[in-house]
């Protein structure tokens, strides 16, 4: 029976945990596994690519059928004309990130949105030229910020400040971040951090860092790639200037799914702000006049450039409706329970493994993490991840040089999944 291997001292799996706290697993397709005794994988890679909601296929098929039957008439007629399709996502996206509906828009990809928003909010002038970000950042963010500096004729080595944790530490301290912002003072143009760090799983103190940036007169933006759908946020109330996120991770919109953006209403209402413009960013009243006057509405919609890709937008809507039904408070509560369980099991494995074989990098305090636990290994992480996948049906992802990321996603992960991961690591590290 599962959990009864006499060679293991780790606690046995208790089925009552999943009975009492099942989550919303039935709403998703769980990839199959052919290894005995399990028929499904234990999936911990939702921080890289979320699983497919069962409702997605039918929803996309509806739009494909409308295209087949209506052609271009689908733009203007039917229960959901394509020209207005993006509007249906405003409320659900806003609730997900703690925004007002007119502050959010679903569009583009994450890195494209970073550039679109920086085109508006990074306007180096005089002494105020610097961008402050973290050093341990997903490469795309680093490339984007460096290229923004170069676009304005500035040397990134001088004008992009990348903050590192203290020697011997894995994560940034909030006090060190805010001190660095204060030290640069009126030289700071934009502060932009990942809300949840892709490598360490650290959830930054978003209100404190936002306040610190504003105190020196800087614009503050956030990359929510690993935060949206993972941790509760109140972007509007925190006074965040702008944010961008992808939707294919925790929001489960499929590979390369359509991204989102937030622009605080104090900026969205300022129609004089410079921006990269396209015809979908002009008001609905003037969009089809086909004249040369750009007439942006006082909403985040003004940052759109092209009409929405319907077949990419539909999966986003399906998933956002799940989040709306579940609610972020309930999701966060289960996330904390599930992550605490996995952490406790991994700590047991650490204690019984050879010294230094593994260690958890992600902060333990609830306010400093989402559902991802990043674990450092002395072993070859790529080989270990392959063994976990092929022999145990445990799917997690690697990040060089020595991290395997385990994300028990509260929508669909189970306590059994967590136990399987820990039990497999126990055997392989013995």
Quote the pLDDT of residue 10: 74
Quote the pLDDT of residue 36: 83
* Domains of the chain, residue spans: 16-54+327-429, 80-326
DSSP helix, strand, coil percent of the chain (3-state; round to 5): 45, 15, 40
Q: State how far the Cα of 145 lies from the Cα of 159, in Å rounded to an integer.
A: 10
In 318-411, at which residue ranges do the beta strands (DSSP E only) sit? Answer: 358-360, 373-377, 394-395, 397-399, 403-406
Which residues of the chain have a pLDDT value below 70? 1-9
Quote the pLDDT of residue 344: 98
Quote the pLDDT of residue 287: 87
Quote the pLDDT of residue 367: 97
Query: Any residues with CB less than 8 A from the CB of 167 and at least 6 apart, and which?
Result: none
Quote the pLDDT of residue 38: 95
Q: pTM value?
A: 0.95
334-364: pLDDT as tens digits: 999 999 999 999 999 999 999 999 999 999 9
CATH architecture of 16-54+327-429: Alpha-Beta Complex (3.90)
Could you give the C-alpha distances from 345 to 121, 354, 362, in angstroms and in order?
45, 16, 15
Burial label for 123, CB within 10 Å (0-12, 13-18, 19+), is middle
In 215-268, at which residue ranges do the beta strands (DSSP E only) sit? Answer: 219-223, 242-245, 260-263
Q: State how far the Cα of 63 lies from the Cα of 239, in Å rounded to an integer.
A: 37
78-119: pLDDT as tens digits: 888 999 999 999 999 999 999 999 999 999 999 999 999 999
Could you give the C-alpha distances from 80 to 58, 284, 288, 397, 403, in angstroms and in order?
15, 16, 18, 38, 45
CB 172 within 8 A of CB 201: no
Quote the pLDDT of residue 9: 59
Instruction: Kindly report the CATH number that applies to the domain delimited by 80-326.
Output: 3.40.640.10
Could you give the C-alpha distances from 236 to 98, 101, 166, 298, in angstroms and in order?
6, 10, 31, 16
């Amino acid at each position: 029976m599962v959990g009864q291997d006499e060679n293991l001292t780790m606690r046995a799996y208790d089925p009552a945990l999943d009975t009492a706290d099942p989550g919303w697993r039935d709403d998703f397709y769980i990839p199959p596994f052919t290894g005995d005794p399990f028929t499904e994988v234990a999936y911990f890679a939702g921080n890289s690519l979320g699983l497919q909601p069962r409702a997605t296929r039918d929803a996309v098929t509806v739009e494909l059928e409308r295209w087949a039957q209506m052609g271009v008439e689908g733009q203007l007629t039917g229960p959901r004309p394509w020209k207005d399709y993006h509007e249906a996502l405003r409320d659900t996206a806003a609730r997900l990130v703690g925004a007002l509906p007119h502050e959010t828009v679903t569009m583009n990809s994450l890195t494209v949105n970073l550039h679109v928003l920086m085109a508006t909010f990074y306007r180096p002038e005089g002494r105020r030229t610097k961008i402050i970000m973290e050093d341990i950042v997903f490469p795309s963010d680093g490339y984007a910020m460096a290229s923004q500096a170069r676009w304005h004729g500035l040397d990134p080595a001088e004008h992009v400040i990348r903050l590192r944790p203290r020697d011997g530490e894995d994560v940034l301290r909030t006090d060190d971040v805010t001190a660095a912002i204060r030290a640069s003072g009126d030289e700071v143009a934009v502060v932009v951090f990942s809300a949840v760090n892709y490598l360490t799983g650290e959830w930054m103190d978003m209100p404190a860092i936002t306040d610190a940036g504003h105190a020196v007169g800087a614009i503050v933006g956030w990359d929510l790639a690993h935060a949206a759908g993972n941790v509760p946020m109140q972007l509007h109330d925190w006074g965040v200037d702008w944010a961008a996120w992808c939707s294919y991770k925790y929001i489960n919109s499929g590979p390369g799914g359509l991204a989102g953006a937030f622009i605080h209403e104090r900026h969205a209402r300022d129609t004089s702000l410079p921006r990269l413009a396209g015809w979908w960013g002009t008001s609905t009243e003037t969009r089809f006049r086909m004249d040369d006057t750009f007439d942006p509405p006082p909403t985040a919609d003004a940052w759109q450039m092209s009409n929405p890709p319907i077949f990419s937008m539909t999966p986003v809507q399906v998933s956002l409706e799940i989040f709306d039904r579940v609610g972020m408070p309930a999701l966060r509560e289960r996330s904390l329970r599930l992550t605490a369980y996995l952490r406790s099991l991994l700590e047991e494995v650490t204690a019984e493994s050879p010294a230094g074989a593994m260690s958890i990098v992600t902060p333990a305090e609830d306010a400093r993490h989402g559902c991802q636990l990043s674990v450092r290994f002395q072993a070859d992480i790529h080989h270990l991840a392959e063994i976990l996948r092929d022999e145990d049906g445990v799917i997690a992802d690697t990040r060089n040089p020595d991290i395997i990321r385990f994300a028990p996603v509260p929508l669909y992960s189970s306590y059994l999944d967590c136990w399987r991961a820990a039990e497999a690591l126990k055997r392989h590290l013995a």
